[in-house]
């Protein structure tokens, strides 16, 4: 299946060369999983998009129209991934935005297929050399400036690790390149804060809302000593971690609990049996 795309809710694949999202990264994006035409985490996506637009001084996106467009483009797909990009629109050269800003909305949808092995056995992590900059004005938002993550992901190309962890300037673990981190330590589930860097993921928000979670900084040695480790992502769901820095784990009861929770809110994980791969 080819990718389905629209620009400003029209059947178009063209984006103006002077769009501020392209020129300056002036905008936001959301990546959604669509299951049978339903976006189970949409309220969290919409809330983050609206709140982030306020923080960036952008006009409020029409979240109802965006959801309708996602559903239209995902029609007929049993499982799909959608990317919604909301930019400050086109403008003249220079950092100053036009007044009033006329945002551009781009929606791209494609079929999604998740392999079962990562959910059954877990994935291996590495620690990236690239560190996240400290910028509370942008922290938590899913803004278009993702060069830190691009540089971090470019650090490896082999299959020995499926994801990379990123630390802040003090060396404390914050997140993976494209997921949030949860660690079970002594019967307590912990996740790092994202108030100075990192993304406040909607899957992270779902776990925080449904469980008793401690938010605090995590040093790499605490991660190595943890009882269980898993990642959260709106599209990939709950991913167990099986290896990091010489330590190995088996997916445990805490991780399995949250995988079951994920399925319970309408986001089924792939079949974890070996026959499914």
Q: Tokens 């990379």 — which residue?
A: 164
CA distance 186 to 188: 6
Mean pLDDT check: name the lowest of 47-51, 130-134, 188-192, 271-275.
271-275
pTM: 0.94
Find the farthest-apart pair of alpha carbons in the chain and give their distance in angstroms, rounded.
57
Per domain, the residue ranges of the chain are: 4-111, 117-270
- Strands 4-7 and 228-233, sheet pairing: unpaired
Mean pLDDT check: name the lowest of 4-13, 101-110, 257-266.
4-13
How does residue 272 score in pLDDT terms, banded at 50, 70 and 90? low
- Mention the CATH class of domain 4-111: alpha beta
- Answer whether residue 136 shows pLDDT above 90: yes
What pLDDT does 273 receive? 53
Strands of 152-227, DSSP E: 163-167, 173-176, 180-185, 188-191, 213-215
- Total count of residues recorded for the chain: 277
Topology of the domain comprising 117-270: D-amino Acid Aminotransferase; Chain A, domain 2 (3.20.10)
Which alpha helices (DSSP H) does the chain contain, by range?
20-24, 42-56, 63-73, 117-121, 147-153, 202-210, 220-224, 253-264
Q: CA triplet 152, 158, 161: central angle to 5 degrees?
A: 65
Q: CA triplet 5, 7, 11: central angle to 5 degrees?
A: 60
Q: In the chain, what are the helix, strand and coil shares in percent, each to the nearest 5?
A: 25, 30, 45
- Answer whether residue 163 shows pLDDT above 50: yes
Residues 6+ apart with CB under 8 A from 64: none
- Answer whether residue 186 shows pLDDT above 50: yes
Residues 6+ apart with CB under 8 A from 41: 32, 33, 202, 203, 206, 234, 265, 267
What pLDDT does 93 receive? 87
57-101 confidence digits (pLDDT tens): 999 999 999 999 999 999 999 999 999 999 999 988 899 998 888
CA distance 33 to 86: 17
CA distance 203 to 240: 14
Of the chain, the percentage scoring pLDDT greater than 70 comes to 97
CA distance 60 to 55: 11
User: Average pLDDT in the 237-250 region?
Assistant: 97
Of the chain, the percentage scoring pLDDT greater than 90 comes to 91
The residue with greater pLDDT, 160 or 274, is: 160
What pLDDT does 274 receive? 58
What pLDDT does 173 receive? 98
What pLDDT does 276 receive? 45
Question: Over the range 77-104, which residues count as b (16 or more CB within 10 Å of their CB) and which as e?
Answer: bebbbbbbbbbbbbbeeeeebeeebebb
Q: Tokens 């999202």 — which residue?
A: 21
Over its C-alpha atoms, the chain yields an Rg (Å, rounded) of: 19
- Answer whether residue 271 shows pLDDT above 80: no
107-131 confidence digits (pLDDT tens): 999 999 999 999 999 999 999 999 9
- Answer whether residue 184 shows pLDDT above 50: yes
Q: How many Cβ atoms sit within 10 Å of the Cβ of residue 131?
A: 18
In the three-class reduction of DSSP (H, G, I as helix; E, B as strand; rest coil), residue 99 is classed as coil
Contact yes or no for 58/103 (Cβ under 8 A): yes
């Amino acid at each position: 299946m080819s990718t389905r795309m629209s620009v400003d809710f029209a059947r178009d694949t063209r984006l103006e060369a002077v769009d501020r999202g392209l020129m300056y990264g002036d905008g936001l994006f959301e990546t959604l999983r669509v299951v049978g035409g339903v976006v189970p985490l949409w309220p969290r996506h919409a809330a983050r998009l609206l709140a982030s637009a306020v923080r960036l001084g952008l006009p409020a996106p029409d979240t109802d129209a965006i959801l309708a467009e996602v559903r239209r483009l995902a029609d007929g797909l049993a499982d799909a991934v959608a990317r919604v990009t909301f930019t400050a629109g086109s403008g003249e050269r220079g950092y100053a935005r036009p007044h009033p800003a006329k945002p551009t909305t781009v929606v791209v949808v494609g079929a999604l297929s998740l392999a079962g092995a990562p959910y059954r056995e877990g994935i291996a992590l590495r620690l990236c050399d690239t560190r996240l900059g400290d910028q509370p004005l942008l922290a938590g938002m899913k803004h278009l400036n993702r060069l830190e993550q691009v540089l971090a992901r470019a650090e490896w190309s082999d299959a020995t690790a499926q994801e990379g962890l990123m630390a802040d300037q003090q060396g404390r673990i914050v997140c993976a390149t494209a997921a949030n981190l949860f660690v079970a330590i002594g019967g307590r589930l912990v996740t790092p804060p994202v108030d100075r860097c990192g993304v406040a993921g909607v899957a992270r928000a779902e776990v925080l809302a449904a469980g008793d979670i401690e938010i605090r900084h995590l040093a790499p040695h605490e991660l190595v000593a943890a009882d269980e480790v898993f990642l959260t992502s709106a599209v990939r769901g709950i991913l167990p971690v099986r290896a990091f820095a010489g330590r190995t784990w088996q997916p445990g009861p805490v991780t399995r609990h949250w995988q079951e929770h994920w399925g319970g809110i309408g986001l089924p994980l792939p079949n974890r049996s070996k026959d499914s791969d």
